[in-house]
Amino acid sequence: MHILGPGSLGLLWAARLQLAGIDYRLIVRNQQQLESWQRRDNQLLFNDGSQRHALTLALETAAHDTPIKQLIVATKAHTALAAVQLLQPRLAPASDILMLQNGLGAQQAVARACPGQRLYAASVTDGAWQPAPGELVWAGRGRTTLGPLSADTDSPAWLQTLPPALFDWHWQNPIMPTLWRKLAINCAINPFTLIYDCCNGEVPERAGAWLTACLTELEQLLRQQGIDDDLTGIVHQVIRNTATNSSSMRQDLHAGRRTEIDYILGYACRQARHDGLPVPALERLLQSAQICLQQHQLPTD
C-alpha cells in the first residue's frame, strides 16, 4: 500500500498500517523532505490516544520506481491532482486509488486524469495533529466512510486486511451523497468561522439570518443532487458537538496555509450555477471569505 502525503492524515494511515504489520510506503514531497525525516531516523512518535508508540516509518519519494497497487491519496485537495500525476507511471490498470480529501472537485479531477484505475473516495472524521515534526496525536477516533466514486463496484479485498480496532471503515455505495452531505456541513460552518474568526459554536449567533438563508440554499442544492436531508438540524448538531473547536479552514488561515474554500463553498456555488439554482446567501459568503483570505495574503481558490 502506498500513502501519498505526509500530513496528519497520511501519517495517521502510515502509523496504523505500521502497527497492524501491513507493508506500506509513505510518499513524501521531495528529496529534501525525505532527508529531513532521515535526520530523525524516520522516527514518528505516535500517541494513539491512550498509548505512545515510537515507530520507524517506511518512506520514499515519487521518484522511486516500485509499482503501486493501492494508492491512498492523503494530500490537501489542491495538491492532489499534480501529486497523483507524478505517480502515474507507477500505477497499473488494476491499481486502486482512494481519495481522502475534504470537499469535492479533487476526486473528479483525479478520476479524469486516471480513467484506467478504480477510484474510491472517503469522508474521514478522525482528528489527528502534529504537535512537533515527527510527532502525531490521534486526538479523535473517527470513521472512514468510503465507496466508489462512479462505477458500481464491490469493496476491494485489501480493505478487509485493515484491522477494525485501528480502521473503523464503513463501505457506502454510492459515496457521493455522503461527500455532498459533508461538503454542505463544511459550507455552513467553516467559511463563517473564517470571516468572524470564531469557534464553531459562535457561528449561529454571529451569522444569524445569514446562516439560516445559507442552510435553506444548501438544502435546495442537496435536493438537486437527490439528497433529502434535514441539513439545518444536522448542522446545528455538529455545531453543538464541536462548539469549542476551531474549524479546519480557520486553522489553515491561522497557520498561513492555503484553505480548501474552492473545494467546499466554491464547488457548491459552481454546482448551483450549473443547476440554475440561485444561491445569493452562499455567493455572498464565498465573496466575504475570499476578501478575508485576500486580507491575509492567502490564495482565494
Binding site for ligand KPL (CB under 6 A): 185-186, 189-190, 200, 238, 242, 245, 247-248
Rounded CA-CA distance 234/296 in Å is: 31
Task: Tell me whether residue 28 or residue 189 sits nearer to ligand KPL (CB atom).
Answer: 189
Tell the smallest beta-carbon distance from residue 96 to ligand KPL (Å).
25
User: Cα 287–193–215 angle (5° rounding)?
Assistant: 70
Residues 6+ apart with CB under 8 A from 165: none
What is d(CA 13, CA 278) in angstroms, rounded to the nearest whole number? 40
How far, in Å, CA of 179 to CA of 99, rounded?
11
As beta bridge partners, residue 146 has: 122, 171
Minimum distance of ligand KPL from residue 230's CB (angstroms): 16
Supply the minimum distance, in Å, between the C-beta of residue 169 and ligand KPL: 18
Which of 145, 200 has the CB closer to ligand KPL? 200
Strand, helix or coil at 39? Answer: helix
Q: Is 182 a catalytic residue?
A: yes
How far is Cα 163 from Cα 19, in angstroms, rounded to an integer? 10
Tell me whether residue 1 or residue 221 sits nearer to ligand KPL (CB atom): 221
Q: Which is nearer to ligand KPL, 145 or 247 (CB)?
A: 247
CB of 248 to ligand KPL, least distance (A): 3
- Which of 182, 185, 188, 217 is catalytic? The answer is 182
Cα(67)–Cα(94) distance, rounded to whole angstroms?
Answer: 11
d(CA 140, CA 146): 19
Q: How many CB atoms lie within 10 A of CB 201?
A: 15
CB of 142 to ligand KPL, least distance (A): 10
Closer to ligand KPL by Cβ: residue 187 or 279: 187
List the catalytic residues.
182
